Amino acid sequence: MASVTYDHVVKRFGDVIAVNDLTIEIADKEFLVFVGPSGCGKTTSLRLLAGLEELTEGNIYIGDRLVNDVAPKDRNIAMVFQSYALYPHMSVYDNMAFGLKLRKTPKAEIDRRVREAAAMLGIQELLDRKPKQLSGGQRQRVALGRAIVREPTVFLMDEPLSNLDAKLRVQTRAELSKLHQRLETTFIYVTHDQVEAMTMGTRIAVMRDGILQQADTPQTLYNAPANVFVAGFIGSPAMNFFDVTVTGTPEEMYLDGGTFKVKVPPKKAQPLVEYLGKEVIFGIRPEDIHDPEYAPPGITAAPVKARVDVTELMGSEVYLYLITGTKSFIARVDPRTSARVGQTVEVLFNMDYMHAFDRDTEMAIR
């Protein structure tokens, strides 16, 4: 087993900087997820570790071993791609065994590893089938099995669930988490889906334009995002943002958004004292905006009037798309809400969970 270290890693494609000064340590047996929008450098970071791309600057270590100039096949890693990349003319058994045969692994050892991996993934009955006889989920498991039999020190996964339907994605997500616990190996996973990242990763690295924005546990990213980008990317639906002016006094402080004015709780006021009279970005998550009739007890509630533009019933909750002035925002409220399209309603912002960001740097104010 092994840790992985990216040490000031840079990758340029001509004038484009795909990965910009990436420095992160991934602990042994950790499940780290690189997440971010398309083109943010997450897949390139994975390919650099796999040896499929050449570094421009910096160093990559697997354990204590510098692997900059080590051939991909000698890095003892296994990669699962978005496309399953199975050989169509080979059976499932032969697809899983192929890499071991190339390494001249003894036949008995190949058989043991393939059958163990098949049992782990629940594909024992499929070993004689060809890939075209399998569903998407089954092919994905075969691709995972092919990686498992190599018994690598690090698993690399590049959006392996994106070709699966929604229900199968949820199921396979849980299977991957269980697999990580069972194998006790380092997993590095790339996705643009923040729900996948939140549910699977022991730690998440959020990237944007080749730059690492924040790397932390899912709960820390959710509760204490480092900047506006992370705050807006983590969480579904995304956090609401308002341009507001900090008014009042250090003892009685308000955020004035023009069409609404909310009081800042005393415990949240101290970092904002130096911003009195200035504009900041105020953030609040949809789940922290409540229908007054069903608001949880004991919250620091600030009432805001808004017009209901759209409602979406999700079963266990309702999404209200609301407008105040020219600004639209989303609330996740109790499904028993009586709010209807076209009505002007009052909602409660739970200010205990408010966020504030510097207008110029977009960094969190703490």
Query: C-alpha angle 84/123/151, rounded to 5°?
Result: 65
**CA 73 from centroid of its chain's CA atoms:** 28
Question: Would strands 301-313 and 344-350 be described as parallel, antiparallel, or unpaired?
Answer: antiparallel
pLDDT at 312: 97
What CATH code would you report for 4-233? 3.40.50.300
Asked whether 36 and 220 are in contact (CB, 8 A), the reply is: no
Parallel/antiparallel/unpaired status of strands 31-35 and 186-191:
parallel
Domains 4-233 and 240-291+302-358 share a fold: no
Residues of the chain with pLDDT under 50: none
CB 205 within 8 A of CB 215: yes
The arrangement of strands across the sheet holding 240-248 comes to: 261-263, 253-256, 240-248, 279-284, 355-358
Q: What interhelical angle do 166-183 and 107-121 show, nearest 10?
A: 130
**pLDDT tens string 123-178:** 999 999 999 999 888 888 898 899 889 889 999 999 888 877 788 788 888 888 98
pLDDT value at position 1? 59
Q: Where are the domains of the chain?
A: 4-233, 240-291+302-358
CA–CA dist 49, 154 (Å, integer)? 10
Could you report the per-residue pLDDT of 331-365, keeping only the tens digit for each? 999 999 999 999 999 999 999 999 999 999 999 99
Q: What is the residue-wise DSSP string for 52-66?
A: SS--SEEEEEETTEE
Could you please report the per-residue DSSP string of 94-153?
Answer: HHHHHHHHHTT--HHHHHHHHHHHHHHHT-GGGTTS-GGGS-HHHHHHHHHHHHHTT--S
Tell me the pLDDT tens digit for each residue of 310-323: 999 999 999 999 99
**Cα distance between residue 187 and residue 148, in whole Å:** 12
Q: CA–CA separation, 31 vs 27, rounded Å?
A: 9
Domain 240-291+302-358, architecture per CATH: Beta Barrel (2.40)
